[in-house]
Amino acid sequence: MNASTDAPERSVYLDHAATTPMLPAAVEAMTLHLAETGNPSSLHASGRRARRVVEESRETIAQALDCRPGEVVFTSGGTEADNLAVKGIFWSRHAADPRRTRILSTAVEHHAVLDPLHWLDAEEHAEVELLPVDRFGRLALDALRASIARDPETVALVSVMWANNEVGTLQPISEVVAIAAEHGIPVHTDAVQAVGAVPVDFASSGVDALTLTGHKVGGPYGVGALVVRRELEVTPLVHGGGQERDIRSGTIDPPAIAGLAAAVELSVKQQAEHATRVVSLRDDLVRRVRAVVPEAALNGDPVDRLPGNAHLTFPGCEGDSLLMLLDARGIECSTGSACSAGVPQASHVLLAMGHTDAQARGSLRFSLGHTSTRADVDALVEAIGPVVERARNAGQRRL
Residue 182 has pLDDT above 80, yes or no: yes
H-assigned helices in the chain: 24-34, 45-65, 78-96, 111-123, 141-150, 173-181, 202-205, 254-269, 271-292, 319-328, 348-352, 357-361, 374-398
Strand, coil or helix: what is 60? Answer: helix
Residues 261 and 276 reside in one and the same domain: no
Answer whether residue 8 shows pLDDT above 70: no
Long-range contacts of range 293-299, CB-CB < 8 Å, 24 or more positions apart?
293/384, 293/385, 293/388, 299/137, 299/167, 299/336, 299/350, 299/353, 299/355, 299/363
Say if residue 265 is in the same domain as residue 286: no
CATH of the domain at 379: 3.90.1150.10
Residue whose C-alpha is closest to residue 12's, from 319, 287, 369, 280: 369
Q: For the chain, first and last CA: distance in Å?
A: 39
Clarify whether residues 222 and 319 are in a common domain: no
Per-residue pLDDT at 338: 57
2 domain-assigned:
no
Report pLDDT for 2.
Answer: 44
Residues 351 and 382 in one domain: yes
pLDDT at res. 395: 64
Q: Taking 70 as the threshold, does the pLDDT of residue 399 lie above it?
A: no
Q: Which DSSP helix (H) or strand (E) runs through 229?
A: none
Can you give the CATH number for the domain in which 190 is found?
3.40.640.10
pLDDT for res 91: 98
Q: What is the pLDDT of residues 364-398, one digit of tens each?
A: 999 999 999 999 999 999 999 999 999 998 766 55
Confidence band, pLDDT 50/70/90 cuts, at residue 345: confident
Q: Tell me: pLDDT of 354 over 80.
A: yes
Task: Give the C-alpha separation, 369 to 277, whole Å.
Answer: 9
> Are residues 262 and 286 both part of a single domain?
no
Per-residue model confidence (pLDDT) at position 203? 98
Does residue 33 form part of some domain?
yes
The average pLDDT across 94-117 equals: 98
User: Do residues 203 and 56 share a domain?
Assistant: yes
pLDDT tier for residue 9 given thresholds of 50, 70 and 90: low
Same domain, 240 and 275: no
> Of 182, 268, 174, 180, nearest to 218 (Cα)?
268
- pLDDT at position 126: 97
| Helix (H) or strand (E) segment spanning residue 219 | none
CA distance 209 to 248: 14
Domain count, the chain: 2
What's the pLDDT tens digit per position in 11-27? Answer: 999 999 999 999 999 99
- Choosing from 269, 291, 310, the residue where a domain stops is 269
pLDDT value at residue 142: 98
| Rounded Cα gap, residues 161 and 139, in angstroms | 10
Reported as a single tens digit per residue, the pLDDT across 219-256 is 999 999 999 999 999 999 999 999 999 999 999 999 99
Q: What is the pLDDT of residues 303-339, one digit of tens each?
A: 999 999 999 999 999 999 999 999 999 999 999 655 5
CA 96 vs. chain centroid, Å, equals 30
Identify the pLDDT of residue 394: 77
CA distance 364 to 347: 11
Range in 146-150, 164-168, 210-214, 393-397 the model is least confident about:
393-397
Q: Does residue 44 carry a pLDDT above 70? A: yes
279 plus 265 within the same structural domain: no
Q: Output phi, psi for 97, to 5 deg.
A: -150, 100
Its domain, for residue 130, covers 24-269
93 is a domain residue: yes
Residue where a domain stops, chosen among 238, 269, 300: 269
Q: What is the spatial distance between Cα 212 and Cα 194, in angstroms, rounded to a whole number?
A: 8
Tell me: do 138 and 108 sit in the same domain. yes
The pLDDT of residue 3 is above 50 = no
Q: Among 79-93, 161-175, 264-278, 340-354, name the one with the lowest average pLDDT.
A: 340-354
Helix axes 141-150, 173-181, angle to 10 degrees: 20
Query: Above 70 in pLDDT, residue 1?
Result: no
Whole-prediction pTM:
0.94
Residue pair 170/133 in contact (Cβ under 8 Å)? The answer is no
Q: What is the pLDDT averaged over residues 185-206?
A: 98
Kindly state the percentage of the chain with pLDDT values over 70.
94
Q: Which of 223, 252, 269 is the last residue of a domain?
A: 269
Residue 14 resides in a domain: no
280 and 359 part of one domain: yes
4 close to 326: Cβ distance less than 8 angstroms? no
Specify the pLDDT at position 339.
54
Identity at 236, one-letter amino acid code: P
Task: Check whether residue 104 and residue 202 sit in a common domain.
Answer: yes
Query: How much is the pLDDT for 336?
Result: 63
In this structure, is residue 8 part of a structural domain?
Answer: no
> Is 15 contained in some domain?
no
Looking at residue 4, its pLDDT comes to 42
Residue 7 has pLDDT above 60, yes or no: no
Contact of 177 with 124, CB cutoff 8 Å: no
Asked if the structure places residue 344 within a domain, the reply is yes
pLDDT at 393: 87
User: Which residues have a catalytic role annotated?
Assistant: 339
On whether residue 144 sits in a domain, the answer given is yes
Q: Within this chain, do residues 311 and 235 fall inside the same structural domain, yes or no?
A: no
Identity (one letter) of the amino acid at 183?
H
